[in-house]
Chain A
Amino acid sequence: MSSMIRTGDDRLYWRVQGERNRGLMGLFAVVAAFLALYAYLFPGLLSVAGVSKFAQSWLPLALVAMAQAILMLTGGISLAIGATVSLGAVIAATTMSGYFGVAGGIVAVSASGLVIGALCGVIAIRLRLPAIIVTLAASFIIGGLALLILPRPGGAIPGWFSDLLAGNTPAALVLVFLVALLWKLYLATPLGLSLYAAGENPVGAYRAGVPVDAARIAAYAISGLLSTLAGLFIAAQTGSGDPVIGQAFTLNSIAAAVLGGVGFLGGRGTMRGAIAGSLLLSVMINVMFFLGFPPVAQYVAQGLIIIGAVALPQLTARFRRRP
């Protein structure tokens, strides 16, 4: 979408972008404030090693937030993200030390994510079953597959690959930017262009000749791919695979996407918002850790902050409407 406008009118492009950023200014400010607080509490953050470590704790959440956001933009949702992350982790841990090596492992992980995502999409879209319950059932099937592949934590990731992704290099940060860039490119393809239209007004889009079903199924496939890649990264981080490691990501991905202003009904929100939302969640967890909160209190704070972050724009909007 953006690239098409850009070729026509440069000023219009930036105005559209500015318009889309406007609702996110509050979020960006909060993220910046939390980052500043984190840097103040932990000055070590402002070094290559500090940034690397932080980016490594953030990357999986950023990936699953994007995986959830792309579905929510088309009006879908997935409760299978966590299970898919686990599946990606166990496939990486079992294939990478095998015959085909790291490259083969990456291909296997990506292919499984795409196929599983696309299957969920076909079932939900073509058979017209509600996405929430299809992905709920899928989460059992995918989680079962992960348990079949690796019944208990184990497997191995080659050491050099772990060092490359999760060592003292800012590789994770580079990956975030790379994925964000690829998302921009995807939005310029016909399927990417259809994404927002299919979410915002499926019937209208269909009548206008937009391939609504294809765009939605593609979104499911990409969502699966992003989830298994998050699993791959976690496996590289821990050096092994765990069939239940992804569980928490289902709800966290929804929370991050919603914090980022992505709506449930489709067509509302931006990917930069979702990424910022995941950053906020990630920084928040780190800050609370440094403030010495027990892990439990983090749940309490997380619940309150999510409600606050979602309710605040609603409340301010209402006060503005009623001068």
Chain B
Amino acid sequence: MNQANHSRFPAWSPRALLRNRAFLTVAIVILVWVVAGFAKPGFGSYGHLRYLLELAAVIGLVAIGQTYVVIAGGIDLSVGAIVTVSAVGVPLVALSGDGSGTFAVLIILVAATSIGFLNGLGVAYLRIHPMIMTLAMATFLQGVLILIAGGTAISAQNPLLAWLGNARIIGIPAGVLLWAVVSGAALAVLHATPFGARLYALGANPLASALSGINVQATTMAVYAVSGLAAGLAGVLILGMNGQGYVGIGDPYLLASIAAVVLGGTSILGGSGSYAGTIPGAILLVTITALITVVNASAGWRSILFGSLILLLLLLSGRESQRR
């Protein structure tokens, strides 16, 4: 266990630091921010950076689950749909009435976790490939959502959501604070608990982990449940920031979460990486989007720029190690 930790966190040295993808991603973010701050007045202002962080918080929350799942050797294509379930679900549940809205949020978080758990059930026991299981789940949820919520936007009014969307604690938005707290917990679970170690083992070699006594099924179900919970939390935050939920609100976060994970240096093949890289990955993604919006270009050019930049960043941080 100690040995494994050692290889994951090599002793500090300049070369090791340069090879550390999480650090590289942070460096790229800082570089982009500094360059953009000089090139574009107003970009580097505190208000703007705070706004970027708020946007990154949502992607970051979704990407917690995605990071866990990818490290464990899977992928979750249902996070977008779960974000929508949560953003549309909270107002629906809240209609039945409770004062602060805490109850509604809790119910929805449980529901989101259960959806993730069902994904895990399919992957672990029915042996369905994660991509198919979660894709089918997303298709299923999309249908159910339209049946329940229809095409209209549903607004939510309750104190908890309002606080989450608007409150500033010593100048820091509540959403960013929530992200910071949850990130801390996510990192701790990933790197300092047996569960975290099991995720790496599972992603590196499922057969070997099963033979060494890891309960593969239980771990798989747990990791997808975590992904559901994280996506649900992100949905609640979006609802708070947006004031209303509608079908399709979570769609952009599916690809964003995968991109953040990969930009953060987590191997899409599983078994390596860390949420520490995903955090700057999410910020980087939001920064790119903001920069492209600043450049006054048509929708087509914006899309091309975004894709090209992701490819470029991939070259810096996302390369798979040479196969032997």
Q: Is the CB of A151 within 8 A of B300?
A: yes
Q: Is the CB of A151 within 8 A of B143?
A: no
How far, in Å, is B142 (CB) from chain A's closest CB? Answer: 5
Q: Is the CB of A254 within 8 A of B259?
A: no
Q: Is the CB of A303 within 8 A of B315?
A: no
Among A135-143, A174-182, A215-223, A229-237, the one that faces the other chain is A135-143
Given contacts A148-B298, A300-B140, A303-B139, contact A136 B259 (CB under 8 A): yes
A179-221 residues with Cβ-Cβ distance < 8 A to B are 202-203
Q: Is the CB of A311 within 8 A of B126?
A: yes
Q: Which of B137, B262, B314, B322 sits near A303, CB closer than 8 Å?
A: B137
* Interfacial chain A residues near B140, Cβ < 8 Å: 299-300, 302-304
Given contacts A129-B319, A251-B139, contact A306 B304 (CB under 8 A): no
* Interfacial chain A residues near B299, Cβ < 8 Å: 144, 147, 151
Q: Is the CB of B301 within 8 A of A144?
A: yes
Given contacts A144-B304, A255-B135, A303-B140, contact A133 B262 (CB under 8 A): yes
* Interfacial chain B residues near A300, Cβ < 8 Å: 139-140, 143-144, 147
Q: Is the CB of A264 within 8 A of B131?
A: yes
Q: Which of B299, B303, B318 has the most CB of A within 10 A?
A: B303
CA distance A115 to B322 in the complex (A): 26
* Interfacial chain A residues near B128, Cβ < 8 Å: 307, 310-311, 314
Which of chain B's residues has its CB closest to A131's CB? Answer: B268
Among B101-109, B180-188, B205-213, B305-313, the one that faces the other chain is B305-313
Q: Is the CB of A311 within 8 A of B131?
A: no
Q: Which of B129, B139, B255, B310 sits near A299, CB closer than 8 Å?
A: B139
B154 contacts chain A at the CB level, 8 A cutoff:
no
Given contacts A147-B299, A302-B139, contact A310 B307 (CB under 8 A): no
A245-278 residues with Cβ-Cβ distance < 8 A to B are 251, 254-255, 258, 263-264
B161 contacts chain A at the CB level, 8 A cutoff:
no
Q: Is the CB of A136 within 8 A of B258?
A: yes
How far, in Å, is A59 (CB) from chain B's closest CB? Answer: 22
A315 contacts chain B at the CB level, 8 A cutoff:
yes
Q: Is the CB of A254 within 8 A of B139?
A: no
- B 146-159 to A, binary, CB cutoff 8 A, 1 in contact else 0: 11000000000000
B323 contacts chain A at the CB level, 8 A cutoff:
yes
Q: Is the CB of B258 within 8 A of A139?
A: no
* Interfacial chain B residues near A5, Cβ < 8 Å: none
CA distance A133 to B75 in the complex (A): 12
A297 contacts chain B at the CB level, 8 A cutoff:
yes
CA distance A114 to B180 in the complex (A): 46
CA distance A51 to B301 in the complex (A): 42
B127 contacts chain A at the CB level, 8 A cutoff:
yes
- A 148-181 to B, binary, CB cutoff 8 A, 1 in contact else 0: 1001000000000000000000000000000000
A32 contacts chain B at the CB level, 8 A cutoff:
no
Given contacts A127-B319, A137-B307, contact A148 B300 (CB under 8 A): yes
Q: Is the CB of B304 within 8 A of A123?
A: no
B175 contacts chain A at the CB level, 8 A cutoff:
no
B116 contacts chain A at the CB level, 8 A cutoff:
no
A296 contacts chain B at the CB level, 8 A cutoff:
yes
Q: Is the CB of B303 within 8 A of A296?
A: no
Q: Which of A129, A145, A203 sits near B318, CB closer than 8 Å?
A: A129
CA distance A196 to B36 in the complex (A): 47
* Interfacial chain B residues near A294, Cβ < 8 Å: 147
Q: Is the CB of B268 within 8 A of A141?
A: no
Q: Is the CB of B298 within 8 A of A296?
A: no
How far, in Å, is B255 (CB) from chain A's closest CB? Answer: 6
* Interfacial chain B residues near A203, Cβ < 8 Å: 323-324
CA distance A263 to B129 in the complex (A): 9
Q: Which of B132, B303, B323 sits near A143, CB closer than 8 Å?
A: B303
- B 57-76 to A, binary, CB cutoff 8 A, 1 in contact else 0: 00000000000000000010
CA distance A134 to B299 in the complex (A): 21
Q: Which of A137, A146, A299, A314 sits near B126, CB closer than 8 Å?
A: A314
A57 contacts chain B at the CB level, 8 A cutoff:
no
Q: Is the CB of A147 within 8 A of B298?
A: yes
A132 contacts chain B at the CB level, 8 A cutoff:
yes
* Interfacial chain B residues near A258, Cβ < 8 Å: 129, 132
* Interfacial chain A residues near B18, Cβ < 8 Å: none
How far, in Å, is B305 (CB) from chain A's closest CB? Answer: 8
B302 contacts chain A at the CB level, 8 A cutoff:
yes
CA distance A262 to B75 in the complex (A): 18
* Interfacial chain B residues near A26, Cβ < 8 Å: none
A321 contacts chain B at the CB level, 8 A cutoff:
no
CA distance A304 to B141 in the complex (A): 10
* Interfacial chain B residues near A94, Cβ < 8 Å: none
* A contact residues vs B (CB 8 Å cutoff): 123, 127-130, 132-134, 136-148, 151, 202-203, 251, 254-255, 258, 263-264, 294, 296-304, 306-307, 310-311, 314-315
What 9 A-B pairs are tightest by C-beta distance, nearest first?
A299-B143, A303-B140, A140-B307, A144-B303, A147-B300, A144-B304, A141-B307, A300-B143, A148-B300
12 additional contacts, CB 8 Å, given A128-B319, A136-B310, A137-B308?
A: A130-B318, A136-B255, A140-B307, A141-B304, A141-B311, A142-B307, A145-B300, A148-B300, A148-B304, A299-B146, A300-B143, A303-B143
- Can you give 23 A-B contacts (C-beta < 8 A)? A128-B322, A130-B262, A133-B310, A133-B314, A136-B255, A137-B307, A139-B307, A141-B311, A144-B300, A148-B300, A151-B298, A151-B300, A202-B323, A203-B323, A264-B131, A299-B143, A300-B140, A301-B143, A302-B140, A303-B138, A303-B140, A306-B139, A307-B132
